[in-house]
Structure 1
Amino acid sequence: MVLEGFYEISNTSLAGDKAVTSLKVNKDHEIYQGHFPGRPVTPGVVLMQLFKEEAERIFDKKLQLVRADNLKFTAVFDPGQDAELILESHLTETGEFIKLKGIAKNNQGIVLKINTLYKFC
């Protein structure tokens, strides 16, 4: 796990190709010391990593990003205002690849829309 200590999983539900995971983000994590002191903002690459780590956990295999299409960062995720983040993922396994289409949202709305392709390592 790259994001050691950054989040805790509150709940995960799986139904068919859909996974919904609730995370509690650690607003005191070292990432926020530099991004940005006094006004924490979660870096976009960290939000992307959350989806990858959750897919690795679900499939119990390491993944490598192959392609990221249509990434849309629609709002700032400030853990000081709302520490809960919901990841909704549609995961399709095709041979050695995983297609992931999802959204990350908090109580204020959608933070990220993501469409990625990973390969099994």
Structure 2
Amino acid sequence: MILEGFYEVSNTALAGDDAITTLKVNKDHDIYRGHFPGRPVTPGVVLMQLFKEDAERIFDKKLQLVRADNVKFTAVFDPTQDNELILESNLTETGEFIKLRGVAKNKNGIVLKISSLFKAC
């Protein structure tokens, strides 16, 4: 975990190539002191990192991002409003590569859409 204490995994459900992981984000984490004081916003790169860490947990492998396509941030994720974040992923493993298509959402809707490629390292 790159940001110690940033989140806890509440649940992960796997069905074939699909995964749904529910995270509880720590609204009091230090990252929000600088991003932004009084109006916490989860940085986009952190949201992307959550997908990587989820895939690493699922496959029990360290991964390196090779490519990120179609990354679309569609809303702000403010953990003081709702600290539950759901990662819905389709994960396809081919040799040393893992292709991920994912959506991060909370009770208000979609926060991030992403397609990415990882390599096992």
TM-score by length of 2: 0.99
1:61 is matched with: 61
1:3 is displaced (CA, Å) by: 1.8
2:92 is matched with: 92
Please give the root-mean-square deviation of Cα atoms over the aligned residues, in Å.
Answer: 0.4
- Match of 1:66, SS state, is strand
1:20 is displaced (CA, Å) by: 0.1
One-letter amino acid of the counterpart of residue 43, structure 2:
P
1:4 is displaced (CA, Å) by: 1.2
TM-score by length of 1: 0.99
Gaps of 5+ in 1: none
Q: Show the 5 A alignment for 1:1-121.
A: 1-121=1-121
Residues 73-94 of structure 1 deviation map (CA, whole Å, 9 limit, x = unaligned): 0000000000000000000001
Identical aligned residues as a percent: 83
Gaps of 5+ in 2: none
Q: How many residues align?
A: 121
1:15 is displaced (CA, Å) by: 0.2
- Match of 2:4, SS state, is coil
Residues 1-35 of structure 1 deviation map (CA, whole Å, 9 limit, x = unaligned): 10210000111000000000000000000110100
Residues 20-73 of structure 1 deviation map (CA, whole Å, 9 limit, x = unaligned): 000000000011010000000000000000000000000000000000000000
